[in-house]
Amino acid sequence: MTLRRASAALLLLAALSGCTGGDDDGPAAPGVMTPSAPVTVDGNGVTVTVEPGPNSVLTAVVQVTTDEPTRPRLVATADGHRVVVPARGRPARDHTMALVGLRAETTYDLRLRGDRALAGLDGELAFSTGSLPADLPRVETQVDGDPRPGVTLFNATPSDLSVEHPGNLIGVDEEGEVVWYHQDEQLISDARQLPGGDLLYNFGNIGAREVDVLGEVVHDWTTSTRVRAGQQDRFGHETYAADAIVIDTPRLQHEVAFPLPNGNFLALSQEVRTYRGFEDPGCPPGPFEDPTVRPQRGDVVIEYTPDGEVVHQLSLLDAIDPRHQPGSQQCNLKTDAIATGDQVFVDWSHGNSATLFEAENAVLVSARNLSSVMALRWEADEHGPAGEVLWQLGPGLDFELTEGEWFYRQHAPEVQPDGTILLYDNGSQRPVDTDDKAEAPAPYSRAVAYELDRSGPRSTWTARQVWEHRIDTPAGPVYADFLGDADSIGGGHVLITHGAVIDEAVNRNTALIVEVDRATDEILLSIRVPSDGDLGWQTYRAEHLDSWYPRVADQPLAGDPPLP
């Protein structure tokens, strides 16, 4: 086992010195900068129009019209910063190019390539970006090494959802500069880049939305329960577009998935069932007259088409009897006004990821409240029925841990090319050796990887911890009771999201995202979203994007390594 711990007092739980990428200094004098006004330039056989993007001061739209068919490429440069919009599609006389990845309050020289007529406009095209919006979360960054080139994309959710833009996506480049953002009327949680470059994100923890890099809505999915509740939430915010595709399921929660090879999507929904015969969990007096009769909310993995038809689903309550595996939250009672009305239930499984492995006919599900990463048979086959539990990884389950420590109430497992499983261990309710809270060690969260051995009979299966990354500070270890992510992003780097770290000074959530070198444990890039007065901020996950302009051929849809 390789044990890695970072001393990161330089970056956490205090304002960072020498930060870049935020709006700490306020708007540039004498006032807030606005993007360049639209401009049209004519050349020899070419006309180019440059105008601000429709939804962000960091984007522009470049229209290119030529007498002869061309495939233009656009290069934007300013003070050593360079953004390239590659040529796409077939030669044509009209092209619309989305220029994204720019920095705030910066003037860029624009140069077109691909035809002599385009080069003739050198020195005549420019675009100035504006100041970041005042209600965009403040971002503090620090670069201490060589982060992987590209963009770290993450969501930022406020503690008060009544604000005008509770949904925020922010992109930070490898130099720690904010180069992209998107704001919406509902909270944004999981967000992914689709093969063609659009972004898909969970919208309001009930639907899904696809936007292009300019922030324009491409597709919108909502649920039948949300439609029955109405298009506006209690704050007057829109919860789905008028032309949204309606999926007949209670909720799309937490997860959005990379498209399956057949073009469909994987998501997590939910259901509530009432069970009799529980052992009394000894909860404080509550709404259940008989504590042995308990409604349980369980996750349902669904596959739906782009048109919103649910074509396959698996229920965790079919796979596991909650009376035999009650989890850690039997005393944590909840309601869901949209999906289940006033019914009180136990949040039994609380799934936060689902990944399909078609070659193995299995779906990998993270059930946080069970501290279980489980593999279920996806479809019935000669080996057994759909939904059968193939294995569960976690404390007290199918594997004996031979080295390291177990995870508790985890997020976001992903299978690595070497067959190990990387995940974010929140460490909530991690067992300690004392009942004295004053003597108990401080809780901690971490990224951790496990190697599984299923070579023998089930009773002999083992797991061992092969890597972990924690951050220790003078104030104690970094601990995020909920939310989090750990992603391998290439080059031996791991992107770790500590999604909800309490700032003790103001008792509000902050988010900390770090890119680390797995071999040396060096923190290469840190991104912090601090609290803002009474407003706390938290991050569900972060993703690394190599480019805003991926080529579809570079992103195979069936690229997962084999399930261990």
Reading the block at residue 166, the tokens are 């509770």
Instruction: Look up the pTM and report it.
Output: 0.93
> What dihedral do alpha carbons 92, 126, 47, 67 form, nearest 10°?
-40
Q: How does strand 151-155 pair with strand 167-173?
A: antiparallel
Q: Give the DSSP per-residue string, 404-428.
A: S----S-EEEEE-TTS-EEEEE--T
Mark out the alpha helices in 80-142 (DSSP H runs).
Answer: 116-119
Closest CA to 84 of 69, 68, 97: 97
Instruction: Compute φ and ψ for 79, nearest 5 degrees.
Output: 50, 45
**pLDDT (tens place) for every residue of the chain, 564 residues total:** 333 333 333 344 333 333 333 344 444 446 799 999 999 999 999 999 999 999 999 999 999 999 999 999 999 999 989 999 999 889 999 999 999 999 999 999 999 999 888 988 999 999 999 999 999 999 999 999 999 999 999 999 999 999 999 999 999 999 999 999 999 999 999 999 999 999 999 999 999 999 999 999 999 999 999 999 999 999 999 999 999 999 999 999 988 877 899 999 999 999 999 999 999 999 998 889 899 999 999 999 999 999 999 999 999 999 999 999 999 999 999 999 999 999 999 999 999 999 999 999 999 999 999 999 999 999 999 999 999 999 999 999 999 999 999 999 999 999 999 999 999 999 999 998 888 877 889 999 999 999 999 999 999 999 999 999 999 999 899 999 999 999 999 999 999 999 999 988 888 999 999 999 999 999 999 999 999 988 999 999 999 999 999 864 444 444 467 888
Nearest to 451 by CA among 420, 405, 417: 420
Q: What percent of the chain has pLDDT over 90?
A: 84
Residues in Cβ contact with 383 at an 8 Å cutoff, skipping those fewer than 6 apart: 377
Q: In whole angstroms, what is the distance from residue 223 CA to residue 334 CA?
A: 20
> In degrees rounded to 5, what are phi and psi of residue 224?
-60, -35
Q: Position 83: which residue type? A: V
Joined tokens for residue 442:
């401080």
Q: What is the pLDDT of residues 415-435, one digit of tens each?
A: 999 999 999 999 999 998 888
Indicate the residue type of 417. P
Between CA 66 and CA 116 the distance in angstroms is 11
d(C-alpha 190, C-alpha 543), whole Å: 9
Average pLDDT over the chain, rounded to an integer: 91
Q: Beginning with the edge strand found earlier in the chain, give each strand of the sheet holding 372-377 in spatial order.
A: 351-357, 362-367, 372-377, 389-393
CA distance 477 to 484: 15
Preceding amide of 30 cis, omega within 30:
yes
Cα–Cα distances in angstroms (integers) from residue 5 to residues 11, 99, 449, 477, 478, in the given order: 14, 40, 14, 10, 11
In 3D space, the residue among 168, 165, 173, 164 whose CA is nearest the CA of residue 156 turns out to be 168
Token pair listed for 298: 């369980």
Q: Closest by alpha carbon to 8, among 116, 145, 190?
A: 145
Question: Which residue's entry shows tokens 């990224």?
Answer: 447
Let me know: does 1 contact 405? Beta carbons within 8 Å. Answer: no
Beta pairing class for 2-7 and 462-473: parallel
